[in-house]
Amino acid sequence: MTTVTPRRAPLTVILAAVVVLLVGLQAIARMYQTLDNGVVAVIVALIGAALYLTVAYGLWQGNHVAWILALIGGVLALLSIVNGDWLSLVTGLVLIVLLLLPRSRQWFARVTR
């Protein structure tokens, strides 16, 4: 009888998923504050939370689409320097670096084979 142990995501991918969750919390808080705290704000915040949670879970599971979406989000965060948002610039840079490290790329490449 053989037992198969599930593969664990590398630390770089876990950290990237945590960064996505933290950025998502920040974005949800911003959305909620700018939409006058009404019913629309709650609905938009819930949709945003679901999207960020889905991408973070996809990263953890090795989903290639989540990897692409997170990289696009990181690039968009880099572009936020135009508005002078240094925090988004740093988090975008950290996210891109974490996702492009060799261990992370191997984690996402294993699913497509």
Give the per-residue pLDDT at 26: 82
Give the per-residue pLDDT at 37: 66
Total structural domains in the chain? 1
For the chain (113 residues), the mean pLDDT of every run of 10, in chain order, is 70 94 84 71 80 93 93 90 84 94 90 50
Q: Where are the alpha helices (DSSP H) in 39-101?
A: 39-61, 64-78, 86-100
Q: Is residue 3 in a domain? A: no
Q: Is residue 1 in a domain? A: no
Q: Is residue 6 in a domain? A: no
Residue 65: partners with Cβ closer than 8 Å, 6 or more residues away: 58
Q: Is residue 22 in a domain? A: yes
- Radius of gyration, alpha carbons of the chain: 16
Q: Is residue 113 in a domain? A: no
Give the per-residue pLDDT at 113: 47
Give the per-residue pLDDT at 111: 53
